[in-house]
Structures are given as C-alpha cells and as structure tokens.
Amino acid sequence: MSRSLRQVLDPARIAVVGASATEGSPGFVLWRNLQSFPGEVVPVSRRAAEIDGVTAYPTLRDVPGQIDLAVVAVPAAAALDVVRDAAAAGVGACVIVSAGFAETGSEGAALQEELVRVARDGGVLLVGPNCLGVQNCDVPLNASLAAGTAAGGGGISVITQSGSYAMALHALSADEGVGFAVAYSSGNRCDVDDAEVIDQLRTDERTQVICAFLESLGDGRHFLDVARRTTRVKPIVLTAVGRSEAGSRAAASHTAALASNRRTWDDVLSGAGVTVARSGLEMLDAARALRGQPLAAGMRAAIITNSGGTGTELSDLLADEGIEVPELSTELQAKLAALLPAYASAANPVDITPIWSRFAELYPAVLEALARSGEVDIVIPVLLHRSAENPDVAQAIAESVAGLRAEGSQVPVFVCWVARRSAWPVTAVLHEAGIPCFEWPARTAKAVGHAARYAQFRRSVAGDGDATLPEPRELPVGVGVDAIVTRDFLVANGIPVVDTIACATSDDAVAAARSTGFPVVAKVDHRTLVHKSDVGGVRVGLTDESAVRSAADELFALVEGARVLVQSQRTGLELVVGGIDEPTFGPVVAFGLGGVLVEVLDDVSFAAAPLSARDAQLLISAPRGSVVLDGVRGSQPVDRAAVESLVRAVGDLLATYPDIAELDLNPVLADANGCIAVDARLIRR
C-alpha cells in the first residue's frame, strides 16, 4: 500500500477537536477515553480555554508542535474547516466520529466528497466519518466513543462498519477474557477502505487474526487481491451482513439465476482463503480458535469427555464441519485403557467417566497420549460441571499443553466448556496459556471447523501461484448475437463446443444431419428464446432423415424467423459451466451439476476469474454431488483434467472480455475422454 496507518494506530501526539468538559457529549467521551494514552493529548475547542486544567487551542493551526492524529467530534458542517486546518498544520490523519455525511442523503454525500478532496489535496488521511473511532488495545489508545478500552495482548484485530459491534468488543473482552490488538470502526469509509486496513494489519506484528464485520466491500476485486496476499500469512475472518436472497438480481441465464449474493460471496471469499462466518459471535469464536494455536495438520479430531452424550453430540457437530472423529488404533486404545478406569471407553470420544477425584490426572494424561499418537490432528477436551469448575483441571491442561509445545508438538488443543456461567473465571488459566475455550459443543464445533478449514487452505496454497489477469479486450461483432459466431468465438478461446450447423429450411436440416452423421440433435435458435427446453425447442435421438425433417418443421413453427441448429448427438454426465459479471467481485465462474435440472438441484459453486490450477480443482470439487465425477454405480470417472481446463478457459475468457455479462455452457457433457459444451449462450453487457 502507498499510505501508512501508523499515525492512526501508533500516534505520538493526539489532538481532540471538539473536546469538551460537558459530561455525555462526544467531545467529553473522547477526551476522557484518551486519558489512558501514554503520549500527549491536546484539547482543541473554540468554547473553552482549558479542559481539565490542560490548555485548549481554538484550531489545529494554533497548536504548537507536530500532531499525528486529530480525533474530530464537531458538527458535520464544521468538519470541512477542521480538515483544512489539519492540512495546514501538517496533521497526518483525522478520525471523524461526526455524523451527517453520505449516510444522510445527497447533500451529505456532496459534503463528504468535498471532505475527501480537501484531505487528499492536503495529505491528510481520513478515517470515517460517521464512525465510532479506533482503538489500539496494546498501547493503550482509545480514540473512540466506546465505553472503555478492550483488553490488549490478544492478537485479534477487528474492522467493523457497525459502531455497535465495535462497542461490543469491550463487553466480550470483559465477559470471556478475549484480548484484542486493534479495533477499527470504518464508518462511511470515505478515504481509507477496508482492504487498505487489512493490508496494513497483514504486516502488523501484534495482529495474529484479522476480523471484518462488513455491510459492503466497496471495490470487491481489490479486496480479493489483498485477501489473497493476507490469508497466505494470517487468517481473515469475515461476517458480511445484508446479503439475503432478496439481493439477487433478475437474470437471463441459469448461471445468473443461481448466483445469489450470499452464495457468490461465500464461495468467492472462501476461494481467497477468507473464513466466512454467519454472525459476529461466530466470527470472534473463529478468531479465538485461530489465535496463537498451531494450524492442524489434517481433519482428524479426538475428544476427551466425562459424559458419553456430550461427546457424541460434539462428534456429530464436528462431522457437520467436515471433521472426522476416527476410531483409535488397537494399540492406542490399549495404551489409554491402562490409564483409565476399567469401565471407561478408550475409543474416540475417549470417555474417562465421572471419576471426579482423578480428573486433574486423567485429562492431561489422555491429552498427551493423543497429541503424541500421530493418529489425530486436533484434541478437544470437554470440561463438564465438576471438571469445568475445578481449577486444578484447567491448570493441569494448561501445563500439559505447554509441555507439548516445548517438545515441538503442533497438535492444536481446543476446550469445550459446559458448566455454570458463574464458574467461567476458572477458564482464565486456559486463556492465559493460549488455549481457546468455548461454551457448549455447538460453538466449539463451529470454531474448530473454521480453524481446521483455514489450516487446510494454507496447506493447499503452498507453492500455488495466482492466475494472471489478462489485458481486457473488446468482444468481436456478432458474438452473443449469432449462435454460430458465438460458438466459433468460444472454440477459438479454448472452450470446446460441439460442431453446429445453422439451417434456414427443413431441407437444410436434413442435409446437415446427413453430413454430420446420425443420430443428431435439432434445436430452435431465436434471440427471444432464452431456455430452449422450456418451449419444447430441443429434439434428441433423431436417427433418420424423416425424423429430422419432422422435427425441423415443428421447431420452425415455434417462432417466426427461427433457425434450426443441427448437432451430432453426444452423451455424458451433464454439467453446467458459466459465468457472470458479479456486481461486487467482477467476473465470476460457475460450475454445477444437472444440466437442464441445475436450478432444481441447486448444486453449484463459484470462483473469481481468472482461476489458478488450485482454484479450478476446488471449484469442481465444491458441489455436494461432485462425487459423481469420480464414477458411481459402475459408471466411469469423467476426465477431471478436461473439466478443470474448461473452467479455467471460461475464467480467462471472462477476465479478458469485460463486456460479457453472462455466459452459459449448458449442458456440458463429460466422460472419461473429455468434455464438450452442446449449448452455449453469451449475453453482452
């Protein structure tokens, strides 16, 4: 990035513009919140000569010496002059908590645009406006309206457009012992966007995990580029709200009809390595699971419990997250059985039974045996009631994990805690040891699932290069208008489409079938017909000239001015490959199963174009039914390499020609010898 947020997050000297001694006012809250800041804080006020005995200055121009950060709490109409003063005084950055800008309508938007122009001309970086402010919890710096500073030292940095979520961090910090690094409220994001903040946090040593609670992404393509760079070195956990099915736009193709906001966002962001959470709580749980823990080497988990029912519930929930709870080997079970009571279970989950007097001995002993076994990648002790409320058990687990780390074990340990909320302080020793602790199996399984999938992503991108973005070009004349021109254009761009002959008469159709060889398929072709099968516009299995002539006559009668397309009949597994120009992310490739039934099966996945080799592999493996590609009930596996090549060619096409609004290859027929599209529809912007 070309700019630095150092003066926002690590200022040496701060000015509060609009500082006030009037209790309850924004200027009062900011002034009081900054009293814990170890550097100098200067009040700027036109109404007071001093605040709490500290000399106040009427404007930023009047403050002697360098100011790194100005925190601004004045009416919107006055903010423009404050930014002008900041530019004249050489202030590096302004955090504007004031409301009354673009969120209020056209007049506010015009004021905000002028605010940005003045700031950029003067070299002043702007955070906000209409934001809660920023916190650097390790300093501590609380340049925000939040009621207190969240605990530092936790390594979790949070970016949020929602002021309420920024305030909730302090409550979570106090209630669950969660520590944070940076809390950044972006507000209207008039100057600094979220991707720029993430890029800064990518190299911030205090930040181990980046969380983002967003209502929009702004430049989605830029966000993806930054996300891909960042997730290769540290996790991003994102919750995006306002992406309901109601946000889907009307579409002319199967692909676009299936591309709901939520579906495309989830797939595209996950493809970039972003962990997508459904709620703010799930986001912060995932962040805690990823903070300070080794990345799991695989997807096998062991559970230690003193309740069979809770262990079984957690096993089921982990299975929903794609995590296996495997049966342990005979040798390992025998080793564990030697430690356990005779009536305990050494299978997985390992049930040590409610033998209260030995909890502090058995939990760490079993944990160490499992972590050293090589048979599991994750260990989850479940602490219930007496085991949860006994501080000796928590202490023993903390010491056990510390010993495992000292000897080089990289098996992550997560604690599932099921007990009275009033006993939660017992978990402090676990948090201090860097061991994530989650209430109840449902929260535990979700958090562990996110952590395990991120670890899987990190393994998958090792050595994988990003796809190269091609230079944009204009679509040739006729592409998207004429079926034959479109077919030839796709073939020239590496996309296999079956040979097709356009016919104006039934005699032409018979001649075409004769030259192609029977059996053939005949299809109606007219610009007004979006889905041919919906109007009975496809005839298959035509084995002689009479059948072709009869079919052609019927197809010509469907709509005046229609043509008939004749193709040789192919067979294979029906797939759909396509793409759209997605409003946030730009060109996106789609892959699904089912051909004409794709919308009924609703089994489709998306990835941002262009695609790397890894992207293509993940795209075609993502649908629930993708197992059919490997052959089922005696059928031969399809040529996966050919399908991967096809989706990559579609990605390159979409990235090269930005005028393509929608593309449908439906169906694509795949078998052991390759794949080919037998129908193609391209819609220009």
DSSP string, 386-455: HHHH-HHHHHHHHHHHHHHHHTT----B-EEEES-GGGGGGGHHHHHTT--EEEHHHHHHHHHHHHHHHH
Which class for 8: exposed (0-12), middle (13-18), buried (19 or more C-beta within 10 A)?
Answer: buried
Q: Give me the pLDDT at residue 29, please.
A: 96
Say how many C-beta atoms besides its own lie within 10 A of residue 269's C-beta. 23
6 vs 20: CA distance, rounded Å: 26
418 vs 421: CA distance, rounded Å: 9
- Who wins on pLDDT, 185 or 465? 185
Sign of CA dihedral 192, 195, 200, 204: positive
Q: What is the pLDDT of residues 419-464, one digit of tens each?
A: 998 999 999 999 999 999 999 999 999 999 999 999 999 999 977 6
Q: What is the pLDDT of residues 581-621, one digit of tens each?
A: 998 899 999 999 887 667 767 789 999 999 999 999 999 99
Residues in a beta bridge with 43? 16
Confidence of residue 580 (pLDDT cuts 50, 70, 90): very high
Rounded to the nearest integer, the mean pLDDT of the chain is 92
Q: What is the mean pLDDT of residues 324-332?
A: 97
Residue 636 domain-assigned? yes
Asked which of 6-20, 371-385, 436-450, 588-602 is least confident by mean pLDDT, the reply is: 588-602
Residue 82 domain-assigned? yes
Q: Are residues 25 and 145 in the same domain?
A: yes
Residue 142 domain-assigned? yes
Q: Give me the pLDDT at residue 257, please.
A: 56
Q: Give me the pLDDT at residue 175, please.
A: 76
What pTM did the predictor assign?
A: 0.91
Q: Are residues 548 and 592 in the same domain?
A: no
Q: Give me the pLDDT at residue 259, please.
A: 57
- Domain boundary among the residues 174, 207, 240 is at 207
Any idea what the CATH number is for the domain that residue 343 is in? Answer: 3.40.50.261
Confidence of residue 398 (pLDDT cuts 50, 70, 90): very high
Count each helix (H run) and each strand (E run) in the chain, helices first: 23, 29
Residue 80 domain-assigned? yes
CA angle 667, 480, 493 (to 5 degrees): 70
Contact between 126 and 83 under an 8 Å Cβ cutoff? The reply is yes
Any idea what the CATH number is for the domain that residue 580 is in? Answer: 3.30.470.20
Residue 288 domain-assigned? no
Residue 283 domain-assigned? no
Any idea what the CATH number is for the domain that residue 22 is in? Answer: 3.40.50.720
Secondary structure class of 621 (helix, strand, coil): helix
Q: What is the mean pLDDT of residues 209-223?
A: 90
181 vs 150: CA distance, rounded Å: 9
Taking 50 as the threshold, does the pLDDT of residue 251 lie above it?
no
Q: Sort residue 320 into left (φ over 0), alpha (ψ -120 to 50) or beta.
A: alpha
Q: What is the mean pLDDT of residues 319-347?
A: 96
Taking 70 as the threshold, does the pLDDT of residue 501 lie above it?
yes
Amino acid of residue 492: A
Q: What is the mean pLDDT of residues 396-412?
A: 97
Closest to 128 (Cα-Cα) out of 74, 180, 173, 168: 74
Q: Give me the pLDDT at residue 153, please.
A: 82
Q: Are residues 85 and 201 in the same domain?
A: yes
Q: Give me the pLDDT at residue 271, please.
A: 94
Q: Give me the pLDDT at residue 247, please.
A: 38
Instruction: Report CA 239 to chain centroid distance, whole Å.
Output: 8
- The tokens for 313 are 């519930």
Sign of CA dihedral 56, 62, 65, 70: positive
249 vs 265: CA distance, rounded Å: 14
How many separate domains does the chain show?
Answer: 4
Contact between 444 and 349 under an 8 Å Cβ cutoff? The reply is no
Rg (CA), the chain: 31
For the chain, what percent of residues have pLDDT higher than 70? 95
Q: Give me the pLDDT at residue 99, please.
A: 93
Q: Give me the pLDDT at residue 250, please.
A: 38
Q: Are residues 409 and 503 in the same domain?
A: no
343 vs 145: CA distance, rounded Å: 57
Secondary structure class of 60 (helix, strand, coil): helix
Q: Are residues 68 and 146 in the same domain?
A: yes
Taking 60 as the threshold, does the pLDDT of residue 260 lie above it?
no
527 vs 560: CA distance, rounded Å: 11
Residue 616 domain-assigned? yes
- Domain boundary among the residues 516, 541, 568 is at 568
Confidence of residue 185 (pLDDT cuts 50, 70, 90): very high
- The tokens for 58 are 């009427």
Non-local CB neighbours of 328 within 8 Å, separated by 6+ positions = 302, 336, 346, 347, 348, 350, 373, 375, 376
Q: Give me the pLDDT at residue 170, please.
A: 67
Q: Are residues 72 and 131 in the same domain?
A: yes
Taking 50 as the threshold, does the pLDDT of residue 248 lie above it?
no
Q: Are residues 419 and 549 in the same domain?
A: no
Q: What is the mean pLDDT of residues 42-63?
A: 96
- Who wins on pLDDT, 263 or 44? 44
Q: Are residues 559 and 675 in the same domain?
A: no
Q: What is the mean pLDDT of residues 132-159?
A: 90
- Domain boundary among the residues 207, 223, 249 is at 207
Q: What is the mean pLDDT of residues 460-470?
A: 78
Q: Are residues 43 and 178 in the same domain?
A: yes
Q: Are residues 520 and 608 in the same domain?
A: no
Q: Give me the pLDDT at residue 93, please.
A: 97
Q: What is the pLDDT of residues 528-575, one digit of tens each?
A: 887 787 788 999 999 999 999 999 999 999 999 999 999 999 999 999
Q: Give me the pLDDT at residue 596, please.
A: 65
Taking 60 as the threshold, does the pLDDT of residue 94 lie above it?
yes
427 vs 450: CA distance, rounded Å: 22
How far CA 533 is from CA of 283, 529, 662, in Å, comes to 44, 9, 19
Instruction: Report CA 431 to chain centroid distance, whole Å.
Output: 26
Q: Give me the pLDDT at residue 468, please.
A: 78
Taking 60 as the threshold, does the pLDDT of residue 249 lie above it?
no
Residue 214 domain-assigned? no
Contact between 683 and 252 under an 8 Å Cβ cutoff? The reply is yes
Q: What is the mean pLDDT of residues 325-352?
A: 96
Q: Give me the pLDDT at residue 381, please.
A: 98
Q: Give me the pLDDT at residue 253, please.
A: 52
Contact between 169 and 147 under an 8 Å Cβ cutoff? The reply is no
Any idea what the CATH number is for the domain that residue 546 is in? Answer: 3.30.1490.20
Q: Are residues 601 and 533 in the same domain?
A: no
Q: What is the mean pLDDT of residues 96-117?
A: 95
Contact between 374 and 409 under an 8 Å Cβ cutoff? The reply is no
Q: Are residues 545 and 604 in the same domain?
A: no
Cis status of the peptide bond prior to 349, with omega within 30 of 0: yes
Q: What is the mean pLDDT of residues 60-87?
A: 97
Which class for 43: exposed (0-12), middle (13-18), buried (19 or more C-beta within 10 A)?
Answer: buried
Residues in a beta bridge with 493? none
Secondary structure class of 498 (helix, strand, coil): coil
Q: Give me the pLDDT at residue 657, please.
A: 97
Three-state secondary structure readout of 237-262: EEEECCCCHHHCCCCCCHHHHHCCHH
Domain that holds residue 406: 301-435
Taking 90 as the threshold, does the pLDDT of residue 146 lie above it?
no
